[in-house]
Amino acid sequence: MTYHIRVPATTANLGPGFDALGLALKLYNEFRIETIESGIEMLGCDDIPLGENLIYTTIQRLFHEYHHEKYGVRVISHKIDIPLSRGLGSSAACIAAGIVIANRAMGERLGLEDMIRIGTELEGHPDNIVPALVGGMVASIHEGDQVIYTRISIPQSLCFALMIPEFTVSTGEARKVLPDHYSKKDCIFNISRTALLVAAMQNGELEKLRVATGDRIHQPYRMGLIPGLEAIFQKAQALGSKTEVISGSGSTLMAMIERNNIRFEDEMNDFLSAMEGGWYVKILEHDQEGIQIYE
């Protein structure tokens, strides 16, 4: 049996929603899956050792946990468009793919809630894994052994401009720069803006997005890891962006822009071409479907 899967990139936090808000984007990794007699074969990703390949280790873990080592799959990388270590959910995409592949091989014994729970356990937080599996913009929390999530509407006039550099920022590095404790004032600041962001998205109030994406929990501490951030944010605002945020833990930056902002891409690319870091722009719509299986 042969089938294909497609898993979207995701952006997390969206400013104030640290480890809680995530959004799936129309940028994908695609794989062809073949049933084999036994074992797990990975083709097309020879530069990653098997022990570090999250698709491989996820399938291996689930086969072992559910006693299905007798089954075999061959995973062939078909199209890999999600850049690694850029804050676009590359690890969540691999984990989601591994779960879906293993589940298919095991006869669909896992439901969606099971896959979300397992993915969150492997990823460590739900903000990327949930939208990778279900699509859209999602608020997610890890409560005991459950992941509780809800979808958030996105204004149809909104799209997302990603400014992606050549250099990477590891999630581990980005977490090390965060403080161990926050003031009550800063916590209230983020809670209020997260609530405002969700409501502004639901109501299509684009004029409120800039204040609603304010953050004191992670972005002020991560700015130093991304050279050029302030200049890029200022240029994006000058070009009509509704707001700018760090995508996940970086290094990608994201501006929320209106679809009719036709000058943004060309003028931002011209601006970035004069900067160090190998930056480029990609304009994306949000993905509403999450990971998909094609026969």
Burial of 292 by CB count in 10 Å (0-12 exposed, 13-18 middle, 19+ buried)?
middle
* Percent of the chain residues topping a pLDDT of 70: 98
- pLDDT at residue 12, rounded to an integer: 97
- pLDDT at residue 39, rounded to an integer: 86
Residues 18/218, Cβ–Cβ less than 8 Å: yes
Residues 122/1, Cβ–Cβ less than 8 Å: no
For 82-95, write each residue's pLDDT tens digit.
999 899 999 999 99
> In 3D, which of 209, 210, 222, 217 has the Cα closest to residue 191?
217
What residues contact residue 50 under an 8 Å CB cut-off, 6+ apart?
Answer: 42, 56, 57
The Cα–Cα gap between 129 and 123 comes to 7
pLDDT above 90: residue 289 = yes
Domain ranges of the chain: 2-152+288-294, 158-284
The Cα–Cα gap between 231 and 34 comes to 47
Architecture of domain 2-152+288-294: 2-Layer Sandwich (3.30)
> In 3D, which of 7, 21, 235 has the Cα closest to residue 101?
7
Question: What's the pTM?
Answer: 0.93
pLDDT above 90: residue 144 = no
Mean pLDDT of 189-210: 97
- Residue 208 is classified by DSSP as G
Q: State the pLDDT confidence band at 46, using cuts at 50, 70 and 90.
A: low
Binding-site residues from annotation for ATP: 83-93
Lowest mean pLDDT of 38-52, 100-114, 256-270, 275-289, name the range.
38-52
- Supply the mean pLDDT for the chain: 94
Q: State the pLDDT confidence band at 98, using cuts at 50, 70 and 90.
A: very high
Q: Which CATH number fits domain 158-284: 3.30.70.890, 3.30.70.1170, 3.40.50.1370, 1.10.287.610?
A: 3.30.70.890
Same fold, 2-152+288-294 and 158-284: no
Binding-site residues from annotation: 83-93
The Cα–Cα gap between 144 and 150 comes to 17
